[in-house]
Amino acid sequence: MEIRRGPTSSATVQLQCGHSVAEIQVPTGELNESVAQDSFIRTPYHDHLLSEMMQSHMVKDFCVIGSRGCGKSVLVRQFADLLGYHIETIMLYQDMTARDLLQQRMTTPSGDTVWRLSPLVIAALEGSLAVLDGVHRVNAGTFAVLHRLIHDRELSLFDGSRLLRHDRYDAVRASKGYSDADMTARGLLRIHPSFRIVALSELPVIGSSSSSQQWLSSELLTMFLYHLMRPLSMDEELHVIKKLVPQMTGMKQVMDLAHRLRSSTDASLKSVAASLSTRQLLRIARHLAIYPDTSVYNLVHKACLARFLPRLTQTALEEELESVDVRKNALPSSVDAIDRAVTCEIKDGILRIGSTTIETYNPETKMKIPDVIFYDNPLHMSVMEEMLRDYLLGEHLLLVGNQGVGKNKIIDRFLYLLNRPREYIQLHRDTTVQTLTLQPTVQDGVVVYEDSPLVRAVKQGHILVIDEADKAPTNVTCILKTLVESGEMHLADSRRIVSANSGLKPSPSIIVTHPDFRMFVLANRPGFPFLGNDFFGAMGDIFSCHAIDNPDVESEMSMLRQYGPSVPDGTLRRLVLAFGELRTMADQGMITYPYSTREVVNMVKHLERFPNEGLVSVVNNVFDFDVYNKELRDTVLETLHKHGIPIGADPRNVLLAKEFPLPPLKFAGQWNIVRQGDGKHTKPFSCSVEEKKLTIKGPVFMGIQSFVSDRTEARSQLFTEQEAFWNLPLHETSAIVDVAVTKGRHRQPGRVNGDVIHVATTSPVCLYSVDTRRQHLSCIDLYDVFPGTSARSMAYKPSIRLAPLGFPLDKNVILHEELTNTTLNINWETGELLRLDTGSLLGNAADKISRTFRANQGVFKMESEFSQDPDGPIIFFKQDHNTIDILDMMEGRVHCISLPLKIHSLFMASKHDWLLTEHQTNKKFLLSRSENDPLNFSLQKIQDKNKDGLACLDELQLVASQPLPDAYLSAALDQKIKSPNRVLSAHNAYVSIGVGFPDCLSVDIFTADRTAADDLQTFNASNNRRLVKSQIAYLPESGQVARILSTSEVPKDVIPEGLKPRTLSGFLELCDPVNRQIRCIPIPGVSNPNVYNQWYYAGFGASNFGLMMSLMSNDGLVTVDSGGCIRLWETAVYNLSQSLKQWQSLIGQNEQRPIQVTYDKELGKIPDDPKHGRIDPTGAPHVGGNTFAGGSGGINTAGMGGAGGPYRLDGGGNAVFQVADWDKAQVPEEVLHAARELAERAWKERLKQIKMSEFDGELYERYASSVRSQIKSLRIILDSLQAKSKERQWLRHQTYGDLDEAKLIEGLAGEKGIYKRRGEKEPELGSPQQKPKLIKILCDVSGSMYRFNGQDGRLDRQLESVLMVMEAFEGYDQKIKYEVFGHSGEGPSFPFIASEKPPKNNKERLDIVLALHAHAQFCISGDHTLEATKHAVEEIAKEQEVDERFVIVLSDANLERYGIRPKKFAEILTANEDVNGFVIFIGSLGDQAQRIMKQMPSGKAFVCLDTKNLPSILQQIFTSTMLSTF
């Protein structure tokens, strides 16, 4: 295409098509030169489209239709530049009136009102190109005023003047002989012959009932010549981006993703595709070109604002990202990198945030630079770094997030760091186009327009901060589009804002945009509970978007510590974790309000200011509003209790273990350590030491699985020794074999470290690691190292022991398998695995055993008491052998010691003194090494005899590695003493102390014998079994010895009242010699009992019943039961007393106020005749007495607060007079029995009233109990349902109709939209429903449901699902109407529940459940899934008075058997756009359901093999329709 400008306002355009060339004459603008845009990249498609536009321009106005962001505005600007046109852009909006299009009223300085020409009329007079942007938004009636202008080039204005086509104007002037001034005086104005109108619009939605979506009416169709601008193909788009961004890198995947989304048939993905327009892709390319280290995954998420997409759409987007190999980057592991990424500094006028730098701004005045209290945290600093990068790229910013997450704080801090002044404007629902740009006031009868913050920011080059942008109607905020895109805007006072590079000079009518002007917009996410408009959906792609979320745990903790430096860290962590889980529940739809950081900050500031006020009181201030919704209240309370916030707890609720007196420690004999002598066996024996090379094989990197550790604090309502518990995600055949702890003090110094709990399992062999300060746990599957028992004897049961290492190897743990002597070094953070081979005789023996496995070869042992010390040795030996291997991990060396005895056991009394016992003889020896020469070992015999010549102690179970402090030793022995010592433990004693051991030659043994007191005889059962290493521990800070005992080994009175031994896993026996007491702490029963792991424990007899224990920091204990439940215990008396004070301080001093006023009343008579009582028809309150039912404080009758009545009966909310407890205690036993019988008869009578037997009640409860929590969750979801259909309501801000009394002042000020009228309006997001949603549930009651129910429980799952729906929907008749139909081989439609007759009670619900079950049992085989779905869709589409229509098909995915293709199923399910169809597969043979789901449209199919997931699936279904309104 070639253009030649002529001498007049015309040009010759030469068009070439193939070999033929044509020339056309087209009008041009008044600009002297046509300068094409440098930024416009020509493609063959654009050239073709421009040539078509030239042809249309030759004869008529035209309209360009295309999707948002495809380049319509850029193409029109190129068109105007080619022809020398000046562009007048008129942004159309919904409430625009004819006056806004043509003429507007204004006042002169003298107070007279005059008419002001609109930009469209000015363009017509000057011969400019009028670009009407947003034809799809404007009201069709308003746009009709342009009919004559477009068709005839004539227009009548409101002031009586007329615009005439240039030839008619010239003819009139010539015939009358008038001059131009005469024509103007007579109200006749000439339309310039070059004037043209170009309209821009988005694509109409064919078949839509919404006028805003189907805007292309027959009337509009005749007004323009239309050109469809399609999105660029991938090659075209890639060509454009490469030309505009030559340094582009990493865009191939983004391009693939964008075009996959655009070609998707799924509506939700298509809505996401609109966010990846060409404009947005260019923004991403520029970002990657300058900052190639930026994550593509994060840029796509930013562009799509994926954080706030509905869950269905999020999931679909993640699948698409994965399909183009765009994945989330792993977090940096380098500490320096992390620190640098989240810090900022200003030095020498240079601001650095992370690795991004910029010169600070130097404003003329600093008065408008915000300065707020802001505490840096990693998350917000990383967000600000991304904002700084976009700022450097010249972008305008949009921050979207939930209310209270810190959007304003971040912006203010960002501007403070940049040293940029700001102008602030807050929008609201009554914001209009006029008030957004100007603020009209009346002064002396004259309307004066004051500049709004927007205009001031444009003039002065300030940052304009627009807050609450989602509150204003999108048709108002859309006028910002031209200001952001082209820097132009027309104001209500006839002034005009133009871009800085427009070439125009400032004048009273022209405002030139300051080059430093920038716009930062803040908005809440759309929809419930903030009820805002979708600002991002309307204008998101013209901004660089940032999703602002609540900080992560560590970031929030860092920030809160600065707000509340004196608030205990434990309190902060409770708040952060509790609110974090509530936010997660809000994202999942389980609760409605996403509690933000703002609430947590306010609570911490309150606690800092009033430290004596309990946390419970402060938390109640936030959650008191929710007490009116029972389901929501229960959910919130359950979450708060889970994280240790004791809402509703009584400070007197303390239940600690019973205490028993410890028998006194009595002298039992002496140990004499023989160091020299003439006898052969008494001389010191110098052991030979041989150094071996440590062979390391590997590394091999094992896969690491990460799980959320669902930790629950145990002291929410009751203070006990148990602190917290959580469950490991064990395999169903796994058995717990060991537990060990990496203590926080042995981890990397300079950090606040928590303990890391390691749990080893077998079948399969796995290593679980849990950081007690984190919310995740890891699992390393070692099946490849220990492939199972198939190749070995079935008697092989791996016996694994763990030895955690200390800094700098604190991320490593030694795993030792005792039967094969396999030793592994595992990094539990990275999965790196090394096999350690000492090359000693032990290793050779292990090889022989692993090959042949003979049970009589003995057992290898590992002792690792000091493995976490830098120079601590790890010892390996084999029972019934005479060698010891000493492993030094820091130096990578192994030393082998040969001994003149066969070892049975080894105890490390210190790093240098080890106590050995000889095999079979049980003789004791002390193996010592010199501190100066660690390889110099000497062996001494210990003579162990009491006065009777017997051993002082039976077989040893434990030798402490640290001595008791002198004060503790004196208290334990009841005498002042200072001496080396060790606490010992043997089978025949609670606890023993060796005074003088291991430093003295003579050691006095003091023992608290288990047979010393009659009331403790039952503890002797522990003598009958051997404790394994993980069942006994010494607590060095308190001097206690902890053992795990079975329920049969403790006295009966130790078992808590009301509990049976079978409900407990066992007991923790704590022997405290310092305080001379014994305590037995009950350990709750296994929460996840597993019959498949009993094979492992069976062979160990009583020694191992699946309960393991390990020592933690601060004398804490951790236990793990056979079901994988980890429990943390606090046992030291002093620690318990301090924790109790803190727990009571959390509750506060004034938290036990009574819920209602009660009056204690003494009885004058003993209850003797329980009865219902007479009914008082007046409903008057009755206090005392024994006549009327429903009274208070009486006897014998049913009522409230009395004694001896058969059951409770509320008399109508009257005050309750409570009978004193001592009076209740006087009620005779026979009266209580009679009252109970009467209550049971009343209950049975109630069942009869609804025709429900006791068996029916039990059966109903069996189904209902398994979904009780899901019913609660679903009811919360139903509370937040929003309206979708249009309703007739008052439309405000109208230009005609009834006068709106609230807009009188605006009318005086010249505002036009001061009227209201009735009309249909799309509901605002979050508005309450006026009509119910209709849901038709299709149940699969075919024979296969019954047939395979025993295999995967599919029929039970369906019955539970239907029951859940019936119970949850009860009481929501105004919001939900539902029907339940069944389909089977008998036919496609069997009604079970009609929408007008839902079940009202448990009996009716049970009858429906039983009917569904019976149909599946007795129907013939066959399938009518397709027919049933088609019938349901057709029938529900006929319903009119509903808000939305849903068809939910429950299926067992057994479609292949009947030749049903998923594609055909999907066609039927989506046949009617007014019906939202979904299928939930609740059963599957193998991966049937997953395979079918992948072939269905995204978001239309779900797999639910656990009913607990059904509420969240229904929530996704209900919210999935939101996107169609955007």
* Helix axis angle, 378-392 to 278-290, nearest 10°: 100
Quick one: pLDDT at residue 1105? 67
Q: Looking at residues 1168-1185, what average pLDDT do you find?
A: 69
Say if CB 1123 and CB 1085 are below 8 A apart.
Answer: no
Q: What is the mean pLDDT of residues 500-518?
A: 85
Amino acid letter, residue 1245: E
Q: Which residue has the higher pLDDT, 686 or 1108?
A: 1108
Tell me the pTM.
0.70
pLDDT band at 960 (very low <50, low <70, confident <90, very high): very high
pLDDT at residue 1329 above 80? no
**Amino acid identity at 1417:** Q
- Strands 1077-1084 and 1064-1072, how do they pair? antiparallel
| Phi, psi (deg, nearest 5) at residue 523 | -150, 145
pLDDT of 895 > 60? The answer is: yes
- Mean pLDDT over 639-665 rounds to 88
Q: 1193 CB contacts (<8 Å, ≥6 apart)?
A: 1159, 1161, 1183, 1184, 1199, 1201, 1202, 1216, 1217, 1218, 1219
Beta bridge partners of 986: 956
What is d(CA 267, CA 206) in angstroms, rounded to the nearest whole number?
14
54 in Cβ contact with 439 (< 8 Å): no
Q: What is the pLDDT of residue 854?
A: 42
Judge whether 913 and 923 are in contact, CB under 8 Å. Answer: no
Cα–Cα dist 530/307, whole Å: 16
DSSP track, 569-605:
HHHHHHHHHHHHHHHHHHHTTSSSS---HHHHHHHHH
Q: What is the dihedral of CA 349, 353, 357, 361, to 10 degrees?
A: -40
Which residues share a beta bridge with 1285? none
CB of 75 within 8 A of CB of 87? no
Can you say how many angstroms the Cα of residue 1024 is from the centroid of all Cα atoms in its chain?
Answer: 51
325: left (phi over 0), alpha (psi -120 to 50) or beta: left
1029 and 1050 Cβ atoms separated by less than 8 Å: no
Residue closest to 1346 by CA, chosen among 1336, 1354, 1338 = 1354
Measured between alpha carbons, how far is 82 from 15 in angstroms, rounded to an integer? Answer: 14
Strands 356-359 and 510-512: unpaired
Phi–psi pair at 1131, nearest 5 degrees = -125, -20
Cα radius of gyration rounded to whole Å, the chain: 41
Which pLDDT score, from 0 to 100, does residue 63 have?
Answer: 94
pLDDT of residue 1090: 66
User: Measured at the alpha carbon of residue 601, what is the angle toward residues 596 and 604, in degrees to the nearest 5?
Assistant: 135
- pLDDT bin (cut points 50, 70, 90) of residue 846 is very low
Reported as a single tens digit per residue, the pLDDT across 1225-1260 is: 566 766 666 666 666 666 566 545 545 566 676 777
pLDDT greater at residue 476 or residue 817: 817
What six digits make up the tokens of 281? 């892709």
Residue scoring higher pLDDT (1400 or 486): 1400
pLDDT of residue 1039: 93
The backbone torsions φ and ψ at residue 1455, rounded to the nearest 5 degrees and listed phi first, read -90, -30
Give the CA angle between residues 175, 179, 183 to the nearest 5°.
80
How far apart CA 1442 and CA 1377 sit, in angstroms, is 9
In DSSP terms, which residues pair with 1006 in a beta bridge? 667, 993
Question: Is the model more confident about 623 or about 76?
Answer: 76
CA-based nearest residue to 403, from 577, 598, 552, 592? 598
User: Quick one: pLDDT band at residue 725, thresholds 50, 70, 90?
Assistant: very high
Give the residue with greater pLDDT, 350 vs 837: 350
Q: Which residue has the higher pLDDT, 1230 or 23?
A: 23
Distance CA 644, CA 652 (A): 16
Q: Quick one: pLDDT at residue 1059? A: 77
Closest listed residue to residue 1389, CA positions, set 1425, 1350, 1352, 1344: 1425
Give the separation between CA 1285 and CA 1330, rounded to whole angstroms. 9
Q: Say whether pLDDT at 246 is over 60.
A: yes
Identify the CA nearest to 553 among candidates 863, 771, 741: 771
pLDDT of residue 1500 exceeding 60: yes
**pLDDT at residue number 1285:** 43
Angle at 835 between CA 831 and CA 837, to 5 degrees: 160
CA-to-CA distance for 1376 and 1402, rounded, in angstroms? 19
pLDDT at 1212: 55
Distance between the two ends of the chain, CA-based, in angstroms? 39
The more confidently predicted of residues 1525 and 363 is: 363
Q: Say yes or no to pLDDT of 1524 above 60.
A: no
Tokens of 1525: 């309104």
Q: Compute the average pLDDT of residues 1072-1091.
A: 86
Averaged over 1322-1338, what is the pLDDT?
Answer: 68
pLDDT level of residue 1289 (50, 70, 90 thresholds): low
pLDDT digits (tens, 9 = 90+) for 1091-1135: 666 666 665 544 456 789 999 999 999 999 988 999 999 999 999
| Crossing angle (nearest 10°) for helices 234-244 and 278-290 | 40
Tokens 């068009």 -> residue: 15
User: What is the model's pLDDT at position 1286?
Assistant: 45
Which residues lie closer than 8 Å to 339 by C-beta, 6 or more apart? none
> Do the Cβ atoms of 693 and 895 come closer than 8 Å?
no
Q: What is the DSSP string of 1010-1024?
A: TTS-GGGGGGGGGGG
* pLDDT at residue number 1169: 67
The average confidence (pLDDT) of the chain is: 81
**Whole-angstrom distance, CA of residue 403 vs CA of residue 382:** 20
